[in-house]
Amino acid sequence: MSDLGAGFGYLLKGQRWVVRHGRWFGFGLLPGLITLVLYLGALVGLAYGADDLADWSTPFADDWSSPWLGLLRNTLTVLVFAFGLFLAVITFTAVTLLVGQPFYESLSEEVDRSEGGEVPESGLPLWRELWLSARDSVRILVRVSLYGILLFALGFIPVAGQTVVPALGFCVSGYFLAEELTSVALQRRGRDLRARLALLRGRRTLVLGFGVPLTLAFLIPVVAVFLMPGAVAGATLLVRDLVGAEDAEDAQGPQNAQDASGATVPPVTSLLKPEDD
C-alpha cells in the first residue's frame, strides 16, 4: 500500500514542479490544446455526419414503418457518436504525446536538469524519435485492446462483471498510461519498449499509484490538457528514482558477492597478499 501512495506522490510532485516553473507549464499545454482542437473538430464533424452514416448503412430499413425506422437509425446514430467519443478518450493521450514529442522531450530534460545530475539524451534525430514513439504507441494500443476484449467478455459474469471487472479495467488503463508517460524519459535513456515494460513490472504497485488516478482524470480530455505537463514532469521524477534504484542495485551486486555459506567474499587481491610474520 505504501507504493500506491508513493506513486500518487509522484503525480503530485509533477504538478507542483510545473506550478513552480510556470513558463514550462504554459509550454507543456500547447500539445494538449492542439490535440483537443483537432479532436473537437473531428467530433463535431462526426455529430453532423453520424445520421447520414446511419441512413447509408441501413438501406434495408427504407421501407420500414414508423416508429421502427426512426428508432433503428436514431439508435445507430447515437452508437456511432458514442463509439467515436470512446475512441477519442482512449487515444487522446497517445496522440497528444505523439504531437507533443518535442515539447515533452524538452520539458522532461528540464526536469532532469533542475533536479541535478546527468541529463540523458537519446542522440536520435527528431524523425526517428517520432517514428519510435508512434510505433510503440501502436504496440501499447494493441495490448490495451486485447485486455479490453478480455475484460469485456468477463463483464458478462454476474456481480463480478459489474464490480471487479471495471476496477481491473482502470488498473490496466492506468498501467499502460504510466508506460506512455514514462516513455518520454526512458527513451532518452536508451530503453526500448521491452526494457521499459520490464522496469515497470518490477514496481507494479508504484506504477498503478501513479497511473490509475490519472486515468480517472483523463476520462475528461479537457482535464487531461491541464494535467499533462505535470504528468510528464511526475513521470520523469518517477523514472529518475526507478533507474537510480536499478543502477544502485547493479553496482551493489558485485561488491556484496557472497559465498555459499553466506559470508562476504573478499577481493581476490586481498587473498594474494602475504601475511605478516
**31, 105 in Cβ contact below 8 A?**
no
Tell me the three cell numbers of residue 110.
528540464
Mean pLDDT calculated for residue range 208-216: 92
Give SS3 for 100.
Answer: coil
Please report which residue ranges of the chain form alpha helices under DSSP H. 2-20, 22-57, 68-99, 101-115, 126-154, 160-188, 193-201, 204-218, 221-255, 268-272
Pick 203 or 141 by higher pLDDT. Answer: 203
- Phi then psi dihedrals of residue 14, to 5 deg: -65, -40
Residue 17 burial by Cβ neighbours in a 10 Å radius (0-12, 13-18, 19+): buried
Euclidean distance between CA atoms 271 and 84, whole angstroms: 71
Instruction: Work out the pLDDT band at 256, boundaries 50, 70, 90.
Output: low
Instruction: Give residue-wise pLDDT tens across range 18-52.
Output: 999 989 999 999 998 999 899 889 888 888 877 77
Which pLDDT score, from 0 to 100, does residue 270 have? 43
> Which of the residue ranges 77-86, 96-105, 147-156 would you say has the lowest mean pLDDT?
77-86
Query: Residue 25 contacts by C-beta under 8 Å, 6 or more apart in sequence?
Result: 18, 19, 229, 230
Query: Residue 230 contacts by C-beta under 8 Å, 6 or more apart in sequence?
Result: 11, 14, 15, 16, 17, 18, 19, 25, 28
Mean pLDDT calculated for residue range 199-219: 90
Distance linking the first and last C-alpha atoms of the chain:
57
The pLDDT of residue 60 is above 50:
yes
The pTM of the full predicted model, rounded to 2 decimals, is 0.73
The pLDDT of residue 229 is above 90:
yes
* Cα distances (Å, whole numbers) of residue 152 to 88, 122, 169: 19, 39, 9
Instruction: Give residue-wise pLDDT tens across range 96-124.
Output: 888 888 888 889 999 999 988 777 776 66
